[in-house]
Amino acid sequence: MKKIIAALSLFTMMFLFQQNAQAQTNTSSLLRHIVIITFKDDARVDSIKALDNLYSSLSKNAMVKDFEMGVNVSPRDSGIVKHVYVTTFASKDDMDNYRKLPEYQQLFKTSLPISSDVTVVDYWVNK
C-alpha cells in the first residue's frame, strides 16, 4: 500500500510539474532585447541621429511588440553619451527573425564606427 501511495504521489508531482511548465510556456511572456551603446567622443550628432532613426524604423515591424529608446541620464556616467534601445518581442522566434532583417544588419554598419562600447541584454520578463 505504501508503494502505491508513493507511486501516486510521484505521479501527481510529475503531472503538476508538467502542467506548470506548460502554463509558463503558454503564458504571454515577453522577451526584452536591450542594447546600450556608448558613443565615441568624436561621434557626430547626425550619425547618432541616423542610428536612432534606424531603431525607430525597425520598431514598426510586426514582430516588435513594444519599443522605447532614450539617452542615459545617470549621474554615474556624467559626460558619457549612452543611448538605450529596448525592443520587446512575444517569442524567441520573433526576435530571431527580427535579427535576420536587412534593416537590422544596417544597425551594425551604422553603429560600429561611432561606438566605443555596446552592451546587449536579452531576458524573459518576470512580473
Phi, psi of 70 (to 5 degrees): -170, 175
Give percent of the chain above pLDDT 90. 70
- What's the domain range around 45? 28-124
Q: Is residue 7 part of a domain?
A: no
pTM above 0.85, yes or no: no
The three grid cell numbers given for residue 4, joined into one nine-digit string: 502505491
Is residue 45 predicted with pLDDT exceeding 80? Answer: yes
* H helix count then E strand count, the chain: 4, 4
The verdict on residue 11 lying in a domain is no
Q: Cα separations (Å) of 22 from 10, 16, 29, 32, 35? A: 18, 10, 12, 21, 30
105 vs 11, more confident = 105
Closest CA to 33 of 84, 100, 103, 102: 84
Q: What is the rounded distance in angstroms from the CA atom of residue 33 to the CA atom of residue 16?
A: 31
17 lies in a domain? no
The pLDDT of 116-123, averaged and rounded, is 96
Domain count, the chain: 1
* pLDDT at 26 exceeding the cut of 50: no
* Mean pLDDT of all residues in 17-37: 69
- The pLDDT of residue 4: 52
Q: Count of CB atoms within 10 A of residue 75's CB?
A: 5
Work out the mean pLDDT of the chain and round it to a whole number: 85
CATH code for position 96: 3.30.70.100
